[in-house]
Amino acid sequence: MRLAATDICKRYGGTVALDRVSFDVQAGEVHALVGENGAGKSTLLKVLAAVEPRDSGSAVLNDAPFAPRSLRQAEAAGVAHVFQELNVNRSVGIAENVFLGRLSEFRRYGLLEARRLRAEAQAVLDELGADIDARADIASLDLGQLKIIEVARALAIRPGIIFFDESTAFLNNREVRMLLTVIDRLRSQGIGIAFVSHHLNEVFEIADRLTVLKDGRLVGTYPTAEISEGRLHELMVGRGVGEGLFPAAGGGTADPDPALEIAGLRIDGGVGPIDLTVGRGRIVGIGGLKGSGGDAILSALTGMGRTLAGDIRLGGAPYRPRGPAAAWASGVAYLPGDRTGEGLIPDFAVGENLTMAVRPRRWGFTDRGREKDISASAIETLRIRTPTADTPCNSLSGGNMQKVVLGKCLAGRPALLLLNNPTRGVDIGAKAEIYRVIRRLADDGIAVLMVSEDLPELIGLSDQVLITRKGGISQVFPEHANPSEEEAVRWML
């Protein structure tokens, strides 16, 4: 099977998202789409899968015109799509999610054949190599496992071509390895893969060809083996960004007095005892395997996780929030790992999301002027690429949505900023911008506690690195020790 698109154009109002872009996917190959956030990668895949209508251009599938009017029609033709943002219905079971939109195929005399549904869903999950029981409660799955459910849904239609749009963004290292192995196996079976990832190591490992997009335009298509990572950076962003990705501490207002002190903290779920300190103007990074304790620490500090014992002090005063609202009121801002599920309301405007936590009031009413000022400042500071502050968040790229979530956190001028994988699903250019902002905040005296599964980020951005293992802290590296990735991993296993 071969899908070829020619001169695809797409506009959103006055914004040109795609400008005469051509792209093709052939049977038995992995063709990667790379570029900065907002370059047009996700938009191109959505247009080809009929999630978004094209303004002009054409496509052929096996030399026949390909113009599906819906995602279901694209799937019926053999083109499946695994979306960038999580697309799981948590109100139904795992098996129902694997065959979401196709449950009528499992009805007999109007009744759902639940046993057959679970059996077929389990077969697809086992084909993926996923350690997921189709009978389990979907609420028990983490983000990475939920993403695997989406991949299983795509495989269940037995496609000839699959679009993987940032499908590894929510996965841990083991799950990424599993998914790349699955993609390699699908390629060997003659399936064509369009692959989008901001992790260029994944692109160089798995892709046969890569196409670079910049500002909605085609830069070029290259055999992966014939291009270096440095050259690829230059093509993507117009400059080399490998060096200087992590800004050095400016020395600003770092204060020896701690902003956050945790002693003997035990958290429901077998985490603890935890002891750690975050000084004002310092970035403390927590690394570890998924479920090793880092997420639970952030959850406790936001009032979402149940603490069983121990002492937490914020600015020297006892701190035990009863929920996220209380944490915000205490000067603790949180950037969650799932930006669309927890960080923002995708259908709301950029400006509404930016000011959601600090809605300015005057005489009992929303102060629209102040609201516009806060939004404009955040858009400029974070370089959020949006036509206006009134643009819905769900029309932005993943990286720009992430910047909106960060902007919402900063609007309240927090004393403590909690970050859960702050650049997950973000391209290298946007990463550099987000790192610049985080470092500037630390230089201005804000304390930052970050959990990250990205080892270069964890080591390069943090002033101090802690490692969690099996619910406890296994290693505390001295400040500015800059441990190697191998040293960090040794304390995780």
| Helix orientation angle between 398-411 and 428-443, rounded to the nearest 10 degrees | 10
What b/e sequence results for 145-155 when a residue is b if at least 16 CB atoms lie within 10 Å of its CB, and e otherwise?
Answer: bbbbbbbbbbb
Residue 243: which residues within 8 A CB-CB, separation 6 or more?
none
Residue 484's DSSP bridge partners are none
- Taking only the tens place, the pLDDT of each residue in 373-397 is 889 999 998 889 898 999 999 888 8
Which of 166-180, 196-210, 434-448 is predicted least confidently?
Answer: 166-180
Q: How far apart are CA 394 and CA 400, in angstroms?
A: 10
In degrees and rounded to multiples of 5, residue 272 shows phi and psi of 125, 175
Residue 109: which residues within 8 A CB-CB, separation 6 or more?
none
Of 7, 5, 35, nearest in space to 215 by CA: 35
Q: How far apart are CA 201 and CA 48, in angstroms?
A: 26
| β-pairing verdict for 56-61 and 283-287 | unpaired
Across residues 316-339, what is the average pLDDT?
91
3-state secondary structure of 329: helix
pLDDT class for 123, splitting at 50, 70, 90?
very high
pLDDT at 242 over 60: no
What b/e sequence results for 13-47 when a residue is b if at least 16 CB atoms lie within 10 Å of its CB, and e otherwise?
Answer: eeebbbbebbbbbbbebbbbbbbbbbbbbbbbbbb
Residue 101 has a pLDDT of 85
| Long-range CB contacts for residues 222-228, cutoff 8 Å, separation at least 24 | 224/32
Q: How far apart are CA 396 and CA 414, in angstroms?
A: 26
Across residues 245-266, what is the average pLDDT?
79
Residue 29 has a pLDDT of 97
Higher pLDDT pick, 95 / 399: 95
Apex 479 CA angle, 447 and 309, nearest 5 = 60
- Taking only the tens place, the pLDDT of each residue in 10-45 is 988 777 889 999 999 999 999 999 988 778 898 999
Average pLDDT value over all residues in the chain: 89
Residue 433: which residues within 8 A CB-CB, separation 6 or more?
382, 383, 403
Please state, in angstroms and as integers, the Cα–Cα distance from residue 22 to each residue in 12, 41, 84, 161, following that order: 19, 12, 21, 17
In degrees and rounded to multiples of 5, residue 311 shows phi and psi of -130, 135
Tell if the pTM clears 0.75, that is, is over it.
no
- Taking only the tens place, the pLDDT of each residue in 193-236 is 999 988 888 999 999 999 999 889 999 999 999 998 888 888 88
Residue 362 has a pLDDT of 72
pLDDT class for 95, splitting at 50, 70, 90?
very high
DSSP string spanning 288-302?
-STTSSHHHHHHHHT
- Taking only the tens place, the pLDDT of each residue in 131-171 is 899 999 999 888 778 888 998 999 999 999 999 998 887 77
Please state, in angstroms and as integers, the Cα–Cα distance from residue 139 to each residue in 99, 118, 124, 293, 323, following that order: 18, 17, 20, 19, 20
**Which helix (H) or strand (E) element contains residue 112?**
strand 111-112
What b/e sequence results for 420-436 when a residue is b if at least 16 CB atoms lie within 10 Å of its CB, and e otherwise?
Answer: bbbbbbbbbbbbbbbbb
Q: How far apart are CA 112 and CA 114, in angstroms?
A: 6
What b/e sequence results for 261-275 when a residue is b if at least 16 CB atoms lie within 10 Å of its CB, and e otherwise?
Answer: bbeebbbebebbebb
Across residues 92-118, what is the average pLDDT?
91
Across residues 338-352, what is the average pLDDT?
87
Residue 283 has a pLDDT of 96
3-state secondary structure of 104: helix
Residue 251 has a pLDDT of 57
Residue 302 has a pLDDT of 95
pLDDT at 281 over 60: yes
As given in the structure block, the two tokens for residue 336 are 């969650």
The answer to whether the beta carbons of residues 143 and 86 sit under 8 Å apart is yes
Of 421, 420, 425, nearest in space to 396 by CA: 425
As given in the structure block, the two tokens for residue 123 are 């077969």
| β-pairing verdict for 361-362 and 283-287 | unpaired
Residue 241 has a pLDDT of 47
